[in-house]
Structures are given as structure tokens and as C-alpha cells.
């Protein structure tokens, strides 16, 4: 008997020692160090900002999911000269009959800037998993685009998400977007973790940089939904300019289906796509106890049915765990308030931006502290999410190169490069995450890991119990 038992015990102990040794030492700080250069925006006469030809032609076209389950799509665009038509004509690939939908038109002013005519139109009653063409604008200036609706919700429905944050409109932004488009694993929807145009870095928040960003990103945003998270560069709060309504340009330009998830604000909402349940939170709205966001999330989390959508994904702009010096601990107050729920409801992954670099944590939590018990350190926790910072789209302010040293034990991998990530959900148990740095014109896979679903396949727990 003992002869047979011994090797088992030794190997189990060996595994534990090996795992905890890895953990205590902290993770990897990539040895790839990018040559540090100041990030610069593409000039306004760049090819990516070209206006479409024709009088009053629709520009800055972008789409996002319009309802909770993926049978509606909000199409948005801007006309510069006059309101023009607010009609979208659309038809499915295998149908000869055309449908029309009427949208709304809005405008806003910001200091000395007056926006073009911003159109939003909700296309409803779409079929799942179907390619649709849509036409906007009239006569010579009409333009046609297409998108594919997501498959029906279901526990083993595969789906591929792109992950981009803090994109901006620099030369680096253009490289990141190009690499995302050229990735052989094709993302079908972008989970965007906030900080869009960086127009607010210009004098008087020059809102023409909102317009140029819309034209730059159109080559992706017109063809696949981007799921928006509000970042600090969307705030545009500038009392010195008389602009005291936070998020004014953002909310006029980008719509989200917040009402479909019984949210009272566009800054926090949820959607389902395929086998994923996505919860978008706002780092720049109140989230303390009794606030609308807190009350919403408290009601929202129990609604997630993991037998329908196994993958529970949270998006915030500010990371809750971040070992860069840049924005260090800015997410701490939200972490204290929401982390116990993330653990209780077994969130698979939290994606954030804000820090202009990449970082992936271990599965850890830090919820034991009660002011007097000294339990201040994060501990390994199989029910906890992995936190991924992907604020490395390109921005305008440069990379976050300074890191806290030594690398804390909760940080599994970190690197200050630009890039994008892909989350490739295979089925209810497995998803493959990969991060692709921009390296001298090429996208190089610099970090990757298998995600094992927290609800269906708590694999790490299996391994150590």
C-alpha cells in the first residue's frame, strides 16, 4: 500500500510547492523593451481621415449591438452639410426584399465647435447569424456597408472577440487597428475598454478630432459592432470652457443599448453575445453603496444564467489590479466595492484600459481584509477573475513604461508595448486569450493563455484538490 501511495503524495506536494513558488516570486516582466518615442497623432490630411466623396455623404459610420441578445443593431453616422436622410435601407444577404428603418438626428455644441448631424438608427427584428447589407445617405452620396449578426445565445456557441483600449488616432493607433484587422483569428466584435479619440488633449478639446477619429475607425466600426466603455478621455468636463456636462460629445456620438438591460444610464449596461455575458461598468460614475450603478450591478449579477451564457466578462476603464506606476491604485476604490461580487459570481475575466501597456494577473482576490485583521495581501483564489489591462491601443500620451518593482505576486505578465488582444471562446469550458504586440510593423504574439470557465470547468481547483 505505502509503496503505491508515496509517489502520489510526493507528486501532489511537488505540484503545490511548484505552484506556490511561482506565485510568491511574481510573474514575468517581458524583456521586450520598445524604443521609447513620443506618440504623435496622424495629421488631419492623412489618408485615414479622408472624407467620403459627394455632397453631405455619410461619414464616421459605426455600429453597436442594439438590444440585449443580438437581434438589433444601432447604426450611427454623421452628415456634415445638412441633416439629410435619417433612413437606413437594409436587407439580408439571402433576401431580395428591402427593409427601412427611421433613425433620430442629434447635434451638440462644445465651446466654439458645432457638430455635424449625428444619426442613430436601431435596426430591429434581425435574424441571428445573418449577413446584412445596409445603405445610408441618398443618391450619389449613398454608401453601403454590411455586418453579420451574432449567433443565437447558447452555452457552447463559439465566438471571437477583439480587445482594444485607449486607441486614439496616432500612427501607433493605425498600426494596432491594422494588426487587429489582419489577425488570422478574426474578431467579430470589439470589446472596447474606453478612451476613444483623445480630442480632449487638443486646445479647447478640439472636437474636429472626434470627427477625424470617427473617419479613421470606420473601416472597422462600420462592419462589426464595437461595444463601448466610457473612459476618462470621454469626460470632456471643462468648466473653464463653460462645458460642465460630463460625456457630452461621447453620449451624442456613441449610443449603447443600456435600457435593454434595465440600466438607467448609458455608462453601465450589459449584453449577451453567443456564450458570453458582458457587463460594462463606469469608472467615472458613482459606484458606492446606494448609487444607481451599485444598485444596478447588485440586481444584474444574479440574472446571469451560466447554463445559458457560461462566460461572464466585465469591462471597466480603470484597472482594479495594475502594477505600473502610471495610474497605480486608481481602481482601488472600485476594487474594494465590487471585488467581493466578482468572486461570489465567479467572473471569468475583467478587461480594462487606461494604463498604456499590457498586463495579466493571476487568479487572485483581496477581500479578506476587515480593517483590523491585517489580511491585506491578495491571495490565490480559484473563484476570482483574471484581470487584464489592455490600454495599449496607441493613444496620444505615450506608453506607460515605469513599473512598480519588484513585480508584485498578483501580476503574471506585463509589458509596455502597443497591441491588441483576441479572446477566442471555443465552448463552455475553454477560451483562448492572446495578446499581440506591435513590433516593428509586425504583430507578434507575446502573451497567451487558456481560460478555463469558472462555472463549468474550474480546472485550477481540480488540479490542486
Ligand X SMILES: *[C@@H]1O[C@H](CO)[C@@H](O)[C@H](O)[C@H]1NC(C)=O
For the annotated catalytic residues, the residue numbers are 327
Check residue 171 for interaction with ligand X (CB under 6 A): yes
Q: How many residues bind ligand X (CB under 6 A)?
A: 23
174 vs 221, beta carbon nearer ligand X: 174
Distance CA 189, CA 352 (A): 16
Q: How many other C-beta atoms lie within 10 A of the C-beta of residue 367?
A: 18
Residues 245-304 touching ligand X, rule: CB under 6 A, are 255, 257, 259-260
Q: In angstroms, give the least distance from the CB of 379 to ligand X.
A: 29
Name the one residue in this structure whose C-alpha cell is 481584509.
369
Which one of ligand X, Fe ion, none is in contact with 448 (Cβ closer than 5 to 8 A by kind)? none
Please select the residue that binds ligand X; options are 42, 121, 314, 343, rule is CB under 6 A. 42
Please select the residue that binds ligand X; options are 235, 430, 434, 448, rule is CB under 6 A. 430
Check residue 48 for interaction with ligand X (CB under 6 A): yes
Omega prior to 406 cis, within 30 of 0: yes
Please select the residue that binds ligand X; options are 1, 21, 47, 139, rule is CB under 6 A. 47
Name the one residue in this structure whose C-alpha cell is 477625424.
212
Q: In angstroms, give the least distance from the CB of 285 to Fe ion.
A: 15
Distance CA 196, CA 304 (A): 29
Q: Please enumerate in sequence order all residues whose Cβ is within 8 A of that of 324, keeping only pairs 6 or more positions apart, or say none.
A: 355, 357, 359, 389, 400, 402, 403, 404, 414, 416
166 vs 362, beta carbon nearer Fe ion: 166
Question: What letters, b where the CB count within 10 A reaches 16 and e where it falls short, cover 422-452?
Answer: bbbbeebbbbebbbbbbbeeebeebbeeebb
Q: In angstroms, give the least distance from the CB of 74 to ligand X.
A: 6
Check residue 378 for interaction with Fe ion (CB under 5 A): no
Distance CA 350, CA 384 (A): 10
Q: Are strands 143-148 and 131-136 parallel, antiparallel or unpaired?
A: antiparallel
Please select the residue that binds ligand X; options are 28, 429, 439, 448, rule is CB under 6 A. 429
Residues 124-143 touching ligand X, rule: CB under 6 A, are 124
Q: In angstroms, give the least distance from the CB of 231 to Fe ion.
A: 5
Distance CA 72, CA 369 (A): 44
Residues 71-100 touching ligand X, rule: CB under 6 A, are 72, 74
Distance CA 192, CA 196 (A): 9
Residues 387-416 touching ligand X, rule: CB under 6 A, are 402
Helices (H), 383-447: none
Which one of ligand X, Fe ion, none is in contact with 72 (Cβ closer than 5 to 8 A by kind)? ligand X
Check residue 380 for interaction with ligand X (CB under 6 A): no
Distance CA 437, CA 416 (A): 9
Please select the residue that binds ligand X; options are 285, 427, 448, 458, rule is CB under 6 A. 427
Residues 177-236 touching ligand X, rule: CB under 6 A, are 178
Q: Which of 460, 299, 444 is nearest to 381 (CA)?
A: 460
- The DSSP code for 170 is B
Q: Which of 262, 267, 327 is nearest to 296 (CA)?
A: 262
Q: Which residues bind Fe ion (CB under 5 A)?
A: 195, 231-232, 354
Q: Which residues bind ligand X (CB under 6 A)?
A: 42, 46-48, 66-67, 72, 74, 122, 124, 171, 174, 178, 255, 257, 259-260, 325, 402, 426-427, 429-430
Amino acid at each position: 500500500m505505502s509503496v503505491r501511495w508515496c509517489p502520489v503524495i510526493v507528486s501532489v506536494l511537488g505540484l503545490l510547492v511548484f505552484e506556490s513558488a511561482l506565485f510568491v516570486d511574481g510573474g514575468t516582466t517581458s524583456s521586450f523593451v520598445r524604443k521609447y518615442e513620443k506618440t504623435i497623432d496622424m495629421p488631419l490630411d492623412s489618408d485615414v481621415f479622408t472624407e467620403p466623396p459627394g455632397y453631405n455623404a455619410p461619414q464616421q459610420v459605426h455600429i453597436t449591438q442594439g438590444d440585449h441578445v443580438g437581434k438589433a443593431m444601432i447604426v450611427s453616422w454623421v452628415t456634415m452639410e445638412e441633416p439629410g436622410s435619417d433612413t437606413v435601407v437594409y436587407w439580408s444577404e439571402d433576401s431580395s426584399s428591402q427593409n427601412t428603418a427611421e433613425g433620430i438626428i442629434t447635434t451638440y455644441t462644445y465651446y466654439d465647435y458645432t457638430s455635424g448631424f449625428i444619426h442613430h438608427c436601431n435596426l430591429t427584428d434581425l435574424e441571428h447569424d445573418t449577413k446584412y447589407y445596409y445603405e445610408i445617405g441618398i443618391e450619389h452620396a449613398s454608401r453601403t456597408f454590411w455586418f453579420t449578426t451574432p449567433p443565437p445565445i447558447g452555452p457552447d456557441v463559439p465566438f471571437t472577440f477583439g480587445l482594444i483600449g485607449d486607441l486614439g488616432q496616432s500612427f501607433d493607433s493605425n498600426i494596432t487597428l491594422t494588426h487587429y484587422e489582419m489577425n488570422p483569428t478574426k474578431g467579430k466584435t470589439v470589446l472596447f475598454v474606453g478612451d476613444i479619440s483623445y480630442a480632449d488633449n487638443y486646445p479647447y478639446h478640439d472636437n474636429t478630432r472626434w470627427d477625424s477619429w470617427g473617419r479613421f475607425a470606420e473601416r472597422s466600426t462600420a462592419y462589426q459592432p464595437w461595444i463601448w466603455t466610457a473612459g476618462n478621455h470621454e469626460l470632456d468636463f471643462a468648466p473653464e470652457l463653460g462645458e460642465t456636462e460630463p460625456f457630452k460629445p461621447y453620449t451624442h456620438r456613441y449610443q449603447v443599448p443600456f435600457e435593454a438591460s434595465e440600466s438607467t444610464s448609458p455608462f453601465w449596461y450589459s449584453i449577451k453575445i453567443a456564450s458570453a455575458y458582458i457587463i460594462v461598468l463606469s469608472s467615472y460614475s458613482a459606484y458606492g453603496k446606494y448609487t444607481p450603478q451599485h444598485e444596478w450591478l447588485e440586481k444584474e449579477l444574479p440574472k446571469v444564467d451560466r447554463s445559458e451564457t457560461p462566460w461572464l466578462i466585465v469591462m471597466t476603464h480603470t484597472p482594479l489590479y495594475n502594477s505600473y506606476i502610471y495610474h497605480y491604485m486608481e481602481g482601488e476604490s472600485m476594487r474594494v466595492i465590487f471585488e467581493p461580487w466578482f468572486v461570489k459570481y465567479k467572473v471569468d475575466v475583467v478587461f480594462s484600459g487606461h494604463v498604456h501597456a499590457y498586463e495579466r494577473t493571476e487568479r487572485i482576490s483581496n477581500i479578506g481584509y476587515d480593517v483590523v485583521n491585517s489580511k491585506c495581501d491578495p491571495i490565490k483564489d480559484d473563484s476570482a477573475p483574471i484581470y487584464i489591462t489592455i490600454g495599449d491601443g496607441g493613444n496620444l500620451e505615450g506608453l506607460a513604461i515605469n513599473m512598480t518593482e519588484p513585480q508584485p505576486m498578483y501580476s503574471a505578465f506585463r509589458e509596455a508595448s502597443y497591441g491588441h488582444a483576441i479572446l477566442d471562446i471555443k465552448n463552455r469550458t475553454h477560451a483562448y486569450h492572446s495578446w499581440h504586440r506591435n513590433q516593428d510593423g509586425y504583430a507578434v504574439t507575446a502573451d497567451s493563455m487558456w481560460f478555463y470557465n469558472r462555472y463549468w470547468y474550474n480546472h485550477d481547483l481540480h488540479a490542486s484538490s
